[in-house]
Amino acid sequence: MRFFRLDPIDDAAATQWRWSLDAKRRWGLPGTECPRCHAGPMTIALNYPSVDLSGLPEERAYRKARFVPWEEYAPLRDRVLPLLPPGAVVRPGMGMGPLEGRVRGRPAPLSMDAPWNLYAQPTGVERLLSANLRGIKPVPTATKTPRDVPPLLEFELQVGGDYVPECRPLPLGESCPVCGTQPRSAPSIDEEWLDADSMPVADVFRFRWNPAVTLASERFVEVLRGLGDTGIRVAEVVVGRPAGAGVVST
């Protein structure tokens, strides 16, 4: 199975679609810093739009983006864990709930405004589902669209995939006993070869080591290309160690 990286096309002249999204997530975890290892930078790529926090007594505590001490962050994180989808990766700054705001113009049937955001019109979802693709989870947004534009949907993507063993970042010391962060080295070699056996049971997903990267199978890309111009750039990634490539000892 071949895999590809998806990115929005930056050159406006290279696509027919003229649209923009001015919106923010309804809820999110605040940013923080671990008092032991000082890890905890905020993430911008991990979002779970299906998560509903409206039933929590502390719901308003998740509405404002801010930076808080660890002792305030940890209880807020723990309260949402039962509401997250299976396998969710949890980091400070993680977004939850639907996007709220306004869409200007008409998005393509499948579209992106950042490498970690994948959206759809109902026609795009129908094409993906009719192809029996896996991991397709469209969630309605709370955005306002122009009168003749259907409501915008957002895909909730799972996190998965890995490098082949010789490329994987190596653990450096023990995991932090407070936040669980595991210090690691940079990838072992300059090339990024992905491990076919580590790919999730999904045709589109976020990459484990960098959730800001969206990866898709050739089955997904076949449907995407069948839609014509979508404003999404597709670039194949290397899966497995190429023939003739040397093994790096560690």
For position 243, what pLDDT does the model report?
60
Average pLDDT over all residues of the chain:
91
Rounded Cα distance between 34 and 103, Å, is 37
Q: Residue 203's beta-bridge partner residues?
A: none
Task: Tell me the mean pLDDT in the region 224-249.
Answer: 81
In 3-state terms, what secondary structure has residue 102?
strand
pLDDT at 104 over 90: yes
Task: Tell me the mean pLDDT in the region 61-72.
Answer: 95
Quick one: 232 exposed, middle or buried, by C-beta within 10 A (0-12, 13-18, 19+)?
buried
81 vs 54, 88, 220, CA distance in Å? 14, 9, 30
Contact 138, 99 (CB under 8 A): no
For position 74, what pLDDT does the model report?
96
Rounded Cα distance between 123 and 224, Å, is 12
For position 248, what pLDDT does the model report?
43
For position 246, what pLDDT does the model report?
53
pLDDT at 54 over 50: yes
Question: Exposure string (b/e) for 106-140, b if CB count within 10 Å is 16 or more?
Answer: bbbbbbbeebbbbbbbeebbebbeeeebebbebbe
Contact 234, 224 (CB under 8 A): yes
For position 249, what pLDDT does the model report?
37
- 16 versus 246: the higher-pLDDT residue is 16
Rounded Cα distance between 149 and 152, Å, is 8
For position 190, what pLDDT does the model report?
57
For position 121, what pLDDT does the model report?
95
For position 101, what pLDDT does the model report?
97
pLDDT at 229 over 80: yes
Over pLDDT 90: what percentage of the chain? 77
What strands, in cross-sheet order, belong to the sheet with 138-140? 110-114, 117-120, 153-155, 138-140
Q: Which of 53-57, 168-172, 240-244 has the lowest average pLDDT? A: 240-244
In 3-state terms, what secondary structure has residue 69?
coil
Question: Model-level pTM?
Answer: 0.91
pLDDT at 124 over 60: yes
Task: Tell me the mean pLDDT in the region 182-210.
Answer: 85
Task: Tell me the mean pLDDT in the region 54-73.
Answer: 95
For position 188, what pLDDT does the model report?
57
For position 165, what pLDDT does the model report?
87
pLDDT at 205 over 70: yes
For position 147, what pLDDT does the model report?
92
Ramachandran angles phi, psi of 160, nearest 5°: -170, -175
For position 187, what pLDDT does the model report?
65
